């Protein structure tokens, strides 16, 4: 066994400060040519007590070090940096975004007529995956004991046909029409004297409500192909959308993707000049390195864009293996959210934070 290193063995390192190799092990994942090292997180609060470094995690230190930096924002996608958190927390946000932030999706399809080549079950599945332009925060969940009403259900109608002798018809998502007054279909009744009931129990028209009158409850994308009809074929149906979450079915997931990666850190261990510098720049497929002109024909390789590193490891294979070190910063995450359209990507992250906050409140209340 190797001897333990104490603070007395390192007189050049002041108390309360980690030596360079321990600081690297604590804060970086070093990516070697075969496999990464220092991947484990050092969680024990007294891990560096012998040299006067407190490794504990506290609320005050977390609030002081935690930062969020916006990098890129579009209508459908957001990229931002989360600094000062553990990978478990970043992964919690990812899982909540995928599985626990609610959206509206078509759950029930009442098929009136379908003579297309697409089977009823396949057609219903396709309809369920169409992103709806409806804010889920304005709706309530529909439980088994609840009746579908204007607060928990959106009704759409699809009625398309292709006449005989006509060219084929492409049925797209923009042909789904919102029915603000609820279902137009009547339930079958065995009692002749009883009045036929609708499949929904709307007490008022949805577009008369202030929250729904500003924006129609349509679909997010108008050009999604649902089916193709040949001459004489037709589709007539009614689709009911309800609120749900991704852990029940993927159609309720509000994100096309939500992922994160540790911030890359590319370090040149020695000065790389001449032909070796040229080889290093050519090795990288994403232009992480660049050439700096030293004058008089001299050239030097520099790290120009470390954030673009994809960890392909081409730069640490071959003649440049001893010149470059690839690292990942353990507490700095590049987070990307791509929305399906019901909520903007920045709103999705806010909703994920609220859900995580509710989870923490429940744990605290149970413990107390």
Q: Is residue 230 part of a domain?
A: yes
- Kindly state whether residues 119 and 248 are assigned to the same domain: yes
Once rounded to an integer, what is the mean pLDDT over residues 213-241? 93
Question: Cβ distance 354 to 106 under 8 Å?
Answer: no
pTM of the model: 0.86
- Kindly state whether residues 349 and 245 are assigned to the same domain: no
| 360: its two tokens | 């923490």
241 has which bridge partners? 106, 154
Q: How much of the chain is helix, strand and coil, in % rounded to 5?
A: 25, 30, 45
- Kindly state whether residues 107 and 221 are assigned to the same domain: yes
**Angstrom distance (rounded) from CA 5 to CA 2:** 9
Q: Which residue has the tokens 């400060």?
A: 17
Q: Is residue 10 part of a domain?
A: no
**Angstrom distance (rounded) from CA 204 to CA 207:** 9
Q: Which helix (H) or strand (E) holds 77?
A: strand 77-83
The one-character DSSP state at 7 is G
Once rounded to an integer, what is the mean pLDDT over residues 182-205? 76
Tell me, what's the pLDDT at 296? 85
The pLDDT-based confidence of 194 (bands split at 50, 70, 90) is very low
The pLDDT-based confidence of 4 (bands split at 50, 70, 90) is very low
Q: Is residue 14 part of a domain?
A: no
- Kindly state whether residues 169 and 148 are assigned to the same domain: yes
- Do β-strands 77-83 and 28-31 pair in parallel, antiparallel, or remain unpaired? unpaired
Tell me, what's the pLDDT at 210? 87
Nearest Cα neighbor of 229 from 107, 123, 106, 108 is: 123
Tell me, what's the pLDDT at 190? 53
**Angstrom distance (rounded) from CA 206 to CA 101:** 24
Domain CATH code at residue 242: 2.170.120.12
Does the pLDDT of residue 94 top 90, yes or no? yes
Question: Cβ distance 236 to 322 under 8 Å?
Answer: no
**Angstrom distance (rounded) from CA 182 to CA 34:** 61
Tell me, what's the pLDDT at 260? 96
Q: Is residue 160 part of a domain?
A: yes
Once rounded to an integer, what is the mean pLDDT over residues 149-167? 95
- Kindly state whether residues 117 and 244 are assigned to the same domain: yes
Q: Is residue 166 part of a domain?
A: yes
The pLDDT-based confidence of 97 (bands split at 50, 70, 90) is very high
pLDDT in tens, 280-326: 999 999 999 999 998 888 899 999 999 999 999 888 887 667 889 99
- Kindly state whether residues 165 and 218 are assigned to the same domain: yes
Tell me the three state secondary structure of residue 116: coil
- Kindly state whether residues 111 and 223 are assigned to the same domain: yes
- Kindly state whether residues 109 and 246 are assigned to the same domain: yes
pLDDT in tens, 114-133: 999 999 999 999 999 999 99
Q: What is the greatest pairwise CA distance in the chain? A: 101
Percentage of residues of the chain with pLDDT beyond 70: 93
- Kindly state whether residues 107 and 246 are assigned to the same domain: yes
**Angstrom distance (rounded) from CA 318 to CA 294:** 25
Q: Is residue 7 part of a domain?
A: no
Tell me the three state secondary structure of residue 183: coil
Boundary of a domain, candidates 205, 229, 253: 253
Tell me, what's the pLDDT at 34? 86
Does 58 or 69 have the greater pLDDT score? 69
Boundary of a domain, candidates 204, 223, 253: 253
Tell me, what's the pLDDT at 319? 65
Planar angle of CA 36, 83, 335, nearest 5 degrees:
75
The pLDDT-based confidence of 186 (bands split at 50, 70, 90) is confident
Query: Across all residues in the chain, what is the average pLDDT?
Result: 89
171: containing domain: 103-253
- Kindly state whether residues 203 and 112 are assigned to the same domain: yes
Does the pLDDT of residue 52 top 70, yes or no? yes
Once rounded to an integer, what is the mean pLDDT over residues 76-99? 95
Domain CATH code at residue 90: 3.30.1360.10
**Angstrom distance (rounded) from CA 304 to CA 289:** 5
- Kindly state whether residues 126 and 238 are assigned to the same domain: yes
The one-character DSSP state at 296 is T
Q: Is residue 311 part of a domain?
A: no
Does the pLDDT of residue 355 top 80, yes or no? yes
Tell me, what's the pLDDT at 318? 75
Q: Is residue 309 part of a domain?
A: no
Does 305 or 190 have the greater pLDDT score? 305
Once rounded to an integer, what is the mean pLDDT over residues 321-337? 93
- Kindly state whether residues 113 and 131 are assigned to the same domain: yes
333 has which bridge partners? 82, 262
Percentage of residues of the chain with pLDDT beyond 90: 68
Boundary of a domain, candidates 228, 253, 278: 253
Nearest Cα neighbor of 328 from 258, 257, 267 is: 267
What is the total count of domains within the chain?
Answer: 2
Does 45 or 91 have the greater pLDDT score? 91
């Amino acid at each position: 066994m190797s001897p333990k290193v104490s603070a007395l063995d390192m007189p050049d390192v002041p108390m309360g400060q980690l030596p360079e190799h321990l600081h690297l092990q604590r804060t970086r994942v070093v990516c070697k040519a075969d496999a990464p090292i220092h991947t484990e997180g050092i969680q024990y609060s007294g891990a560096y007590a012998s040299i006067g470094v407190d490794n504990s995690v506290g609320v005050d230190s977390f609030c002081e070090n935690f930062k969020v930096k916006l990098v890129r924002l579009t209508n459908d996608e957001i990229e931002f940096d989360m600094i000062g958190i553990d990978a478990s927390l970043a992964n919690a946000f990812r899982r909540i975004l995928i599985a626990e932030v609610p959206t509206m999706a078509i759950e029930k399809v009442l098929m009136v007529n379908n003579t297309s080549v697409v089977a009823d079950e396949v057609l219903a599945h396709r309809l369920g995956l169409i992103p709806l332009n409806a804010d889920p925060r304005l709706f309530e969940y529909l439980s088994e004991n609840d009746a579908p009403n204007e607060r928990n259900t959106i009704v759409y109608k699809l009625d398309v046909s292709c006449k005989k002798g006509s060219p084929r018809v492409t049925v797209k998502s923009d042909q789904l029409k919102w029915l603000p007054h609820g279902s137009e279909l009547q339930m079958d009744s065995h009692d002749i004297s009883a009045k036929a009931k609708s499949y929904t129990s709307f007490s008022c028209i949805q577009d008369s409500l202030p929250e729904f009158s500003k924006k129609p409850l349509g679909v997010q994308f108008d050009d999604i192909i649902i089916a193709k009809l040949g001459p004489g074929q037709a589709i007539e149906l009614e689709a009911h959308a309800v609120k749900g979450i991704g852990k029940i079915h993927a159609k309720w997931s509000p994100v096309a993707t939500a992922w994160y990666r540790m911030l890359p850190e590319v370090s040149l261990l020695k000065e790389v000049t001449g032909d070796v510098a040229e080889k290093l720049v050519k090795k990288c497929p994403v232009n992480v390195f660049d050439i700096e002109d030293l004058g008089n024909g001299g050239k030097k390789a520099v790290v120009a864009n470390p954030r673009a590193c994809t960890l392909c490891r081409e730069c640490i294979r071959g003649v440049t293996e001893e010149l470059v070190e690839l690292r990942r910063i353990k507490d700095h995450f590049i987070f990307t959210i791509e929305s399906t359209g019901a909520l903007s990507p920045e709103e999705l992250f806010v909703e994920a934070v609220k859900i995580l906050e509710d989870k923490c409140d429940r744990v605290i209340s149970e413990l107390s």
